[in-house]
Amino acid sequence: MLFQFLPATFVTLLLLAAPAAAFTHPIGIHGRYFIDTVTRQPFFLKGIDYQPGGSSAVTESIDPLSDPNTCARDIILFQELNINTIRVYSINPDLDHDVCMSMLASAGIYLVLDVNSPLQGQHMNRYEPWTSYNEDYLEHVFKAIEQFSGYNNTLGFFAGNEIVNDKKSARNSPPFIKNLIKDMKLYIDAHSPRSIPVGYSAADDLNFRVSLSKYLECTDGSFVDSVDFYGVNTYQWCGEQTFYTSGYDALTLDYEDYVRPVFFSEFGCNAISPRVFEEVSSIFGDEMIGVFSGGLVYEYSQEPNNYGLVEIDDKGAVRLMKDFDYLKVQYTSTEIPTGERIAELYNRGGKGLKLGAQALPECEEEYDNLEITLMVDDSISSKLLKNGVDAKRGRFVTIDDNDLYTTYQIYNTDGTSFDRKYVRVTHLLDEITEYEAIRLKQLSNDSKYP
């Protein structure tokens, strides 16, 4: 039963009674919240962005989720940070990701995956998207969906990251982004074993961020053309600030009426170092949980832009940085909001809190600083949407004990050896039967649309 149909008092009782389970259940969407599709509890992202080696680390033979030894090394540290979600910016869908995704699920960790790749023909040209929006590009996107739809811990897909970031891209890209979202959702509906949310990750530029979010949220009545969630990349909380001095109050107000989940797809200003991440308590605090569904710290590994939590040497050894220790303190001491907490705030008239699904807004003729009149040829995707793509669907596999151990060295910030070299199994891999898959797909669909 979906709680938009229930009175507020019964909603409170339902959320209070919802059981916890040691399974990695699929995540769906109900109104402006992510929810566990089995327990019906709200889900808040507490995680990090993960792309060790940057975009150049994705090749024909390797990506961040293809090497079990590397995955074990990093999942050990994910568990140390007490996170529940990672974002990966690019993968090669022709590689095998079963072991790494199974290990992540066994650790209770979900994945938000960008479907674009730095490899040729696998990303959208922001300035001339009509040159890149072709069948080869969509085949790559659909192959990523095909493979990762087989894992319960695939939380969602990003159709793009900061594609609109200046005046020229704002003139040319928005209709192509919206059409890609539609094509991805149509492919998932036709070929995936369950519904998986599709979103977009936006640059924190006030010229475009809010207007683009409204354009991607609106619908022509089909619902499939509307984004399922919206990510904001923001770095405005620097050092010791507050909810008000950082501007988080205005940021929260920007999305108070958004009808889909919003979260920080990147956060963690590095203007002051080391980063102490005091914004974490606000992101998961009462002032924000009615609007934002958590966030992801940028980023796991130290790259040339100096946002890393760990340093990885050329032999694969990892050394923790001070930022890691500070984030660990914040993430470990901050409680994830529960259904009980949300219901209490709702019953007190908490700001921005909406438990039921809200109607999607109808599309307007224009949006500030965006050009939305360019037409996209729907025939480009028609063949692939009908026939599917030739890709191996991922599946959970039995993990050998050796897979849980890493041969790489891990060092603390003081240079001493980290005291654990294995992944702790905290969650069971939930094998979904064909009947349950049909039921979960229906539940997800019911959750997604008002």
Q: Looking at the annotation, which residues are catalytic?
A: 162, 266
Cα atoms in the 13 Å half-sphere on the side-chain side of 246: 23
Decide: 358 and 450 in contact? Cβ < 8 Å: yes
Q: Are 36 and 389 in contact (CB under 8 A)?
A: no
Cα separation, 393 vs 118, in Å, equals 22
